[in-house]
Structure 1
Amino acid sequence: MENGGDAIAFLRSSLAKQSISLEVEYLPWQDAIKKAELTGYLGYYPAWPSEIMPGFIASPTILNSQIAVITTQSNPQDFENIEQLFSENKVGVVGPYTYPDVIKKVIKSYEDSIVKTTNDEELFHLMQTKQINFAISAPKVLNYFARQQNFPEPKIVTQFPDFPLVIGMRENAENQAKITLLNDLFAGTSSLATNYSRPKKLLLTYIDIPRITPFKEIMADVYSDLNIKVQMQATPARRGVLLLNAGVVDGDIVRSKSNLKKFDNVIVVEPSLGIINLVLLCRKSRPCDRDILAKPNNRIMSSIGDTEILSEFDIKAEIINNEDLSHTLKMLKKGRLDYALYPALNSDINIFQNDFSVVILRQLAINTVIHKKHAPLVDELSKAITARLPELTKQINNSTD
């Protein structure tokens, strides 16, 4: 690019105001990191904080990086079903990049669909030639290749929250004065956040279990009270919270608070919507008590989150991970497995006892959750939930489906 790249141009102009010149060598990403280790170099740039290697420290934020799921203008697929997008299509990423942790977890969760390229230009080529359906990239980068090669600019399907771009600075005595100067110069840049714009529509996930309907209905009403439309989609349990933590979706209808401590970008909205029981379901022909969990010869189907909740139990049984909870019930009813861990409302337990033996292991508060980028909505959501909570409680208690 004529300006040397937008990130370089901004850094150069910022330093020029302090009468500091900037010398840049352009190299492939991994070569740049290796060369930055040599005497005479300050470091490498631009980098996400996740790309700061041993021996380097991160500068303050220089710019913010937009990362999105992108496709071609001609792709006609329904983009509101994010779970289907990732699980049923080829999604390209740049292999050498160390993506921010939340994106890395999404990529790992859908690794069977992921195609790794050597650089952004190859990523753009694979997308234009339909060898991949979607790409995770910076829109500016792919837009540049589109203009350069006379293609229509790709379109954004959904985007992650912005991530900081920093200089990976070599931490040694030679660079200490420069590090101090950069820290002073850019210390306030990270506060340059855009003002929150109230959304007209939000994308919410939910776990597809038999009792989800009342919660979907009440949360649709709650958001309607805030003049916000919602699109809801069923998503396997762990994938749903990974997509939420990454900011690809905006919220989840109902989750156990106990499962969310490790997800820094997820806000639990109070008050709780109710109580859910984590139960052991057993085929009636099999023994059924808490000791089932401690016997290595037993095989138990469970979501990852449910197993984590039971960390205080001595679980020696073989755990079969399955995030599609509706599938778990079908497997159990067909006799293809003997045991399962499952979330159940109080009203579910009597119904489950018609088909299975049931042992209650723990009781958990459940809440709706939202991505932290929507933190300005939390107080309003809390008030709307409080107003409608008696209606939800009545629905749950009266439900016998």
Structure 2
Amino acid sequence: MKHLIIMWFGVVLLVSSGKNALSETWRIASLVWPPYAGPMLDEDGIAVAVLRSSLARINVELEIDYMAWPRAKALTAQNDYLAFFPAWPEEILEGYISSKPVEMSQIGVVFTAGQPVRWNSLQEVFDKYTVGFVSNYVYPEALQAEIDQRFAGDAGADTERDLVRMLAAGRVDVAITDPNVMLFLAEEMALGSIRAHSKVLFRKPLLVAFKDTPENRVRRDQLNKVLPTVNLHQLVCCRFVPQSVEMRPVQ
């Protein structure tokens, strides 16, 4: 019996050491973007939770450093990080490769309660209203073209938090970004109720943007094998916003 116990402990040690030998830590950069990513959120946010649980299946530990979005991209480009996350497809520029979708986000129109907002096209939004946006995001091509055509290079807010303040103060009529983020921050900042328009401009997958290296191509392929399947057409507005936020959509 004694020999059997010793042999059992030996097998456990071998298995444990084998797992440790295979383990790897992926260090990536992220912005604070609730409810998808942020150190103050449960499991670091809904998108990070999916990514972390997927990596655990291949015995990879996820380490995230949160910082301003331009800095996250710059440091990844300098090889300080394997990747930045969460990225829209438009942000996967030359020198980067993307994972499969980790989660879904969307881009829509947000406005202050009590102000009627009606529009039939993206162009009409810009024609009828003063539009706020985040200056350092790479928006979908049609939206980015409207922004580039109508605004100077230094226009826009630095972050969604600043964009919420601009909207609440009446400096813009509407804000265009992910409504989940805006509504979440408005609740957190107690800046009054805002509403998300029922029309969705774009549905966008959230991707891991790897620096394009041979090693990262292997990592990307490993991750893709364990990521859950994401419905690219799912409606994601307001799923993760605190219930006290006024979210009645405008028709």
- Tell me whether the two structures share a fold, i.e. TM-score over 0.5: yes
Is 1:103 aligned with 2:139?
no
Give 1 or 2: higher strand fraction: 1
Q: CA deviation at 1:62?
A: 1.1
Q: CA deviation at 1:37?
A: 2.5
CA deviations over 1:342-388 (Å, ceiling 9, x no partner): xxxxxxxxxxxxxxxxxxxxxxxxxxxxxxxxxxxxxxxxxxxxxxx
Is 1:26 aligned with 2:63?
no
Counterpart CA distance in 2 for 1:44 and 1:73 is 34
Q: 1:87 aligns with which of 117, 123, 127?
A: 127
Contact 1:36 1:170 in 2 (8 A): yes
Q: CA deviation at 1:153?
A: 3.9
Name the structure 2 match of 1:2: 41
Gaps of 5+ in 1: 196-401
Q: CA deviation at 1:60?
A: 1.1
Contact 1:32 1:44 in 2 (8 A): yes
Contact 2:54 2:223 in 1 (8 A): no
What are the residue-to-residue correspondences of 1:70-219 with 2, within 5 Å?
Answer: 70-75=110-115, 77-80=116-119, 85-108=125-148, 110-111=150-151, 115-157=155-197, 158-186=199-227, 189-191=229-231, 193-194=233-234
Name the structure 1 match of 2:83: 43
Contact 2:204 2:232 in 1 (8 A): no
Contact 1:142 1:153 in 2 (8 A): no
What are the residue-to-residue correspondences of 1:366-385 with 2, within 5 Å?
Answer: none
Contact 2:86 2:208 in 1 (8 A): yes
Name the structure 2 match of 1:290: none
CA distance 1:174–1:194, shift in 2 (3 Å): closer
CA distance 1:41–1:180, shift in 2 (3 Å): same
Higher relative contact order (Cα pairs below 8 Å, separated by 6+ residues): 2
Counterpart CA distance in 1 for 2:223 and 2:106 is 23
- TM-score, L = length of structure 1: 0.44
Gaps of 5+ in 2: 1-39, 236-251
SS of the residue 2:97 aligns to:
strand
CA deviations over 1:279-327 (Å, ceiling 9, x no partner): xxxxxxxxxxxxxxxxxxxxxxxxxxxxxxxxxxxxxxxxxxxxxxxxx
Contact 1:92 1:123 in 2 (8 A): yes
Name the structure 2 match of 1:241: none
Contact 1:65 1:138 in 2 (8 A): yes
Q: CA deviation at 1:123?
A: 0.6
Contact 2:95 2:212 in 1 (8 A): yes
SS of the residue 2:65 aligns to:
coil
CA deviations over 1:71-95 (Å, ceiling 9, x no partner): 01132x3414655542132100111
Amino acid at match of 2:74: K
SS of the residue 1:162 aligns to:
strand
Number of residues paired by the alignment? 192
Contact 1:90 1:115 in 2 (8 A): no
SS of the residue 1:116 aligns to:
coil
Q: CA deviation at 1:141?
A: 0.9
Is 1:11 aligned with 2:51?
yes
Q: State the identity as a percent.
A: 28
- TM-score, L = length of structure 2: 0.68
CA distance 1:20–1:86, shift in 2 (3 Å): same
Runs of 4+ in 1 over 3 A off after TM superposition: 80-85, 108-112, 190-195
Q: CA deviation at 1:44?
A: 0.4
CA RMSD of aligned residues (A): 2.5
SS of the residue 1:97 aligns to:
coil
Is 1:57 aligned with 2:97?
yes
